[in-house]
Amino acid sequence: MKTIILYIVSIFIIGLFLYSKLLPYQDKLNVQYKSVFNFFDSVFTPILNFIKRFIKPFEVGYGVSVDMAQIILLLVFLIILNVL
């Protein structure tokens, strides 16, 4: 059971990375990749929106800010991997 959870969390870490990179190009994806993207979108969007309610983007310059929600979610996934 522990091994299955580790694999699932690892897949979600990779999915989060790919999701963040492909989000601006979601309308240009092929049909086969669009379904995988839509799965991760349906998983990550509610979680990221929940985190964004409590943690606002971090301003690193004039008009430049970093969305901390994805970083927080990544840290949660990494903590889960480390604990298990």
Backbone angles phi and psi of 77, in degrees to 5: -60, -40
Could you tell me the pTM of the whole model?
0.82
Q: Record the tokens describing residue 70, joined without a space.
A: 């994805």
Pairing of strands 64-66, 58-61: antiparallel
State mean pLDDT over 15-34.
91
Break the chain into its structural domains and give their ranges: 2-83
10 Å Cβ neighbour count for 60?
8
Tell me the CA end-to-end span of the chain in Å, nearest whole number.
11
Q: How far apart are CA 16 and CA 1, in angstroms?
A: 23
Residues 41-58: pLDDT tens digits? Answer: 999 999 999 999 999 888
Average pLDDT of the chain? Answer: 91
